[in-house]
């Protein structure tokens, strides 16, 4: 799947998902650019999220340029990852 060319971060989520909004708002507040992929109606995105989550569609799933993945992260977890 594609990632944002500036940071390499991709957020998989859905507009109805409160945790997705929280994670995106946190990244926005930290002025982190990312690619957002809405999994609703996107079979390829859904398949990818399931692939990295033991066949479960769990969002938000956030992919980082080092290949690491955070699933339903708290703002504190996002902050720690961004400091790395």
- pLDDT classification of 4: cutoffs 50, 70, 90: very low
* pTM assigned to the model: 0.90
- Phi, psi (deg, nearest 5) at residue 3: -130, 165
Contacts 24+ apart (CB under 8 A), 42-47: 44/1, 45/1, 45/12
Q: Where are the domains of the chain?
A: 10-83
Report whether 25 contacts 48 (CB < 8 A): no
pLDDT tens for 29-83 read 999 999 999 999 999 999 999 999 999 999 999 999 999 999 999 999 999 999 9
DSSP SS3 for 52: helix
Domain 10-83 CATH class label: alpha beta
Report whether 23 contacts 76 (CB < 8 A): no
């Amino acid at each position: 799947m594609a990632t944002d060319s500036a940071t390499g971060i991709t957020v998989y989520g859905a507009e109805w998902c409160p945790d997705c909004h929280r994670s995106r708002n946190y990244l926005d507040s930290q002025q982190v650019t990312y690619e957002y992929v809405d999994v609703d109606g996107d079979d390829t995105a859904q398949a990818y999220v399931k692939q990295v989550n033991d066949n479960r569609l769990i969002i938000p799933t956030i992919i980082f340029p080092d290949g690491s993945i955070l699933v339903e992260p708290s703002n504190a977890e996002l902050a720690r990852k961004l400091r790395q």
